[in-house]
Structure 1
Amino acid sequence: MKTVLFLPLLQIPSGHHQAADALKEDLLAMAPQWQCHKVELLSSRLGQAEKLISSVYLQWIRHFPKTYSILYDQAVIRQKKAHLSFRYYEILFRRHIKNVVQHIQPDLIVCTHALPSYLLNRLKLSKEIANPVVNVYTDYFIHHLWGIEAIDYHFVGHPYMKTKLMKKGVPESRIFVTGIPIHPYITISKRKGQTERLCYSGLISGGSLGIGAFTELLKKISPNDPIDYYVLCGKNVQIYKQLQNENHPRFIPLPYISSRQEPIEITFLNL
């Protein structure tokens, strides 16, 4: 019997958790005798303080999205150093994550968030752990917080990401272009009562919070575009109502969907 440890971050239902849950369900469907553990780093280390941190984090993003974007960009995207050290993260979490790994003794560790990946990469470089570690990226880019050098395998969402990792020295044999994991409960179907059209379908998502450059992106889509765009607005009621009021012929806005079993009805072209 094998044991797999999944490491997302924060208790909020982010894409990091969704990816971990999707992989866990698929894995157990193939090997029900395996044991799967999902450990959230902040709550397991800080207890109830994680709820406060999550709340402040969400309020910050909702009310001051530009400052969040600027700081995030400066901290982990535009850094020029070849080997970054996030010392405060290590002080807070390095020993804790090592203890978690030693307690569970997993045969495989799956990181769906950059912070656990960074810490495990440091531990593997210093030979403190030897467990195989996989990075599962939930974005279409790779920022500097992700651990790279000592990570055993990388599951990426796009061939461009594979190229970037190879430039960083990762062997091609350790990189797999898999797309972003989708939970097996999520299904799509044709829209009821709608005649089939010669039109493709696209999906635009800003995550569970419905943030991102929606306005700029949607302005570029013509009413005559050959693609119908389903826009997942998450909990962003403002953008959902805005898209409804615009009544753009190519946009189908969808509010926050809490249940994976609830199908998203999509009209698509049979090729």
Structure 2
Amino acid sequence: MARSYRILFLSVSAGAGHMRAAEALKEATLLLAPEAEAQHLDVMDYVPSTFRKIYTDYYIKLVTKHPALWGMLYQASSEAAPDAVSQKLRRAVERLSTRPLRSAIDEFAPDAIVCTHFLPAELLMREIGKGRISVPVFVQITDFDLHRMWVIPRMAGFFAGNEEVAFRLTAHGIEAGQIHVTGIPIMPAFAQEHDRTACAAAFGLDPMRRTYLLMGGGAGLGVGPVAKRLTAADPELQLVVLAGKNQKALAELQALAASRPGRLFPLGFTNEVPRLMAAADLVITKPGGLSTSECLAMGVPMLLSSPIPGQEERNADYLMENGAAMKAIDEIGLEYHVALLKAEPQRLEAMRRQARALGRPQAGQDAMRIVLEALA
């Protein structure tokens, strides 16, 4: 691995998970091969604004405003045959809209490409078929479920989050030798050992008290009413709430915290999530592939909140059937499960053990080691 390889990571900013996975793989590359040159490109920076709006803005609106419709589209598109008219039309639109990306790839001249979204992988599949790209292209799947769009011929390899995803890839015709069950990549900070007492002290928390972390994502949606309900129902609970970039929600939480001193700890956007997880007994979160993989790597059990139909429901199913999480469909469900775990702490401890057993803190390095070895 002494040669200075050029590795290109391609992602899509439709939700944060795909981008975070690419950054995690980039960091893993530099840890394994400091002399390598690694670059991460967002495909949405190379498409017309109308296409970007469909792929990102409309996607976010659909999953937040019309989750049931998104679930139907997710299932229908996963069941559609690759040669269906709808799929051919979609790929044609994607090719027409991403021509500038091909120029950026040529300019960087990578030795290998890793895609953390199916869009760039589909584009490169066509380029490989026409002989315009000859470097190996790998695909990192970012959920614990396999959507049919991830099944892309002519790829050098696939990195799967679990054995079932690998099984499904083979069922769709991918050779077993191309599939590697490495997990979903996370940033190195989530793979490090953290001292709970020190981490709790850094945020003014009592390390001896039961502490839950409520994550509202970048948009901080719905965290205010949940925090109010949970802290009212359980006066002994220390609740840390992440409002993301939602300043209105943060201000409301700070006002609420003033009436609950030592019990409610609101924060805005922060890079300290690993240390906050280390101080937490439970994380309340939506079941995105990246956020749940971070929890697993830290050995923190989860209470999954209102998963959207499609990939989040499939992620939730995987985590629950393996005993690392419980699910609440609404605020009433959250209050019930918080009370249940308080009354039965042995359940929480069992979930913690399962989370630790499922965690793959070295997923990024395991995947990139395979890529670099393929180039050696």
Q: TM-score, normalised by structure 2?
A: 0.54
Distance in 2 (alpha carbons) for counterparts of 1:168 and 1:49? 29
Structure-1 separation of matches of 2:180 and 2:209: 35
**Is 1:190 matched up with 2:190?**
no
- C-alpha contact 1:117 1:147 (8 A) present in aligned 2: no
CA drift of 1:71 comes to 2.9
User: What residue is the counterpart of 2:271 in the other structure?
Assistant: 260
Query: Compared with structure 1, are the counterparts of its residues 237 and 101 closer, same or farther at alpha carbon in structure 2 (3 Å cutoff)?
Result: closer
Following the alignment from structure 1 to structure 2, what is the Cα–Cα distance between the partners of residues 181 and 61? 24
RMSD of aligned residue pairs (Cα, Å): 3.4
Contact 1:183 1:260 in 2 (8 A): no
Cα offset for 1:256?
Answer: 4.3
Q: Which residue of 2 aligns with 1:233?
A: 216
Residue of structure 1 equivalent to 2:306: none
Structure 1 Cα separation of the partners of residues 124 and 165 of structure 2: 21
Residue among 38, 41, 44 paired with 1:39: 41
Q: Is the 8 A contact 2:223 2:241 kept in 1?
A: no
Post-superposition Cα deviations, 1:57-105, rounded to whole Å, max 9, x if no partner, equal: 434443333333333433x323145674322112222x43432322211
- Specify whether residues 2 and 161 from structure 1 end up closer, same or farther in structure 2 by C-alpha distance, changes over 3 A only: same
Distance 1:78 1:251 in 2: 44
The alpha-carbon deviation at position 52 of structure 1 amounts to 8.8
Q: For residues 221-271 of structure 1, give each alpha carbon's deviation from its aligned partner in whole angstroms, at most 9, with x where no partner exists.
A: xxxxxxx98553313432553265145779967424533344222336697
Counterpart of 2:7, as a letter, is V
Equivalent of 2:65 in 50, 59, 63: 63
The alignment-based identity, stated in percent, is 23
Alpha-carbon distance in 2 for matches of 1:69, 1:252? 31
4+ residue runs of structure 1 moved beyond 6 angstroms? 248-253
Distance 1:80 1:144, change over 3 A: same
- Give yes or no for contact 2:115–2:139 (8 Å, CA) kept in 1: yes
Q: Which residue of 2 aligns with 1:204?
A: none
Give the Cα separation in 2 of the matches to 1:260 and 1:13: 18
- Equivalent positions of 1:139-178 (< 5 A) are 139-178=143-182
The residue matched to 1:103 in structure 2 has which SS? helix
Q: Which runs of 5+ in 1 are unaligned?
A: 198-227
Matches within 5 A, 1:1-271: 1-10=4-13, 14-46=16-48, 50=52, 54-74=56-76, 76-81=77-82, 84-85=87-88, 86-93=91-98, 95-186=99-190, 190=196, 192=200, 193-195=206-208, 232-234=215-217, 235-239=219-223, 241-242=225-226, 244-246=228-230, 254-256=241-243, 258-262=269-273, 263=275, 264=277, 265-267=279-281
Change (3 A) 1:80 1:260: same
Please give the secondary structure, in 1, of the residue aligned with 2:189.
coil
Q: CA deviation at 1:171?
A: 2.3
For residue 319 of structure 2, what is the aligned residue in structure 1?
A: none
Inter-partner Cα distance in structure 2 for 1:49 and 1:162 = 31
| Count of residue pairs the alignment pairs up | 238
The CA deviation string for residues 84-129 of structure 1, in whole angstroms up to 9 with x for no partner, is: 4322112222x43432322211111010111111111222233331
Q: Distance in 1 between matches of 2:195 and 2:15?
A: 24
Query: One-letter code of the match for 1:259?
Result: T
Change (3 A) 1:261 1:243: closer
> Structure 1, residues 188-222: CA drift from partner, whole Å, max 9, x if none?
6536434499xxxxxxxxxxxxxxxxxxxxxxxxx
State how far apart, in whole Å, the 1-side matches of 2:116 and 2:56 are: 17
**Secondary structure, in 3 states, of the residue corresponding to 1:149?**
coil
How far apart, in 2, do the equivalents of 1:129 and 1:119 lie?
Answer: 11
Q: Is there any run of 5+ residues in structure 2 with no aligned partner, and where?
A: 201-205, 245-268, 282-299, 301-348, 354-376
Give the 3 Å change call, closer, same or farther, for CA 16–33 of structure 1 in structure 2: same
2-side partners of 1:9 and 1:252: how far apart? 33
Structure of greater Rg: 2
- Cα offset for 1:47? 6.4
Where does residue 208 of structure 1 map in the other structure? none
Partners in 2 of 1:184 and 1:53 — Cα distance?
Answer: 29
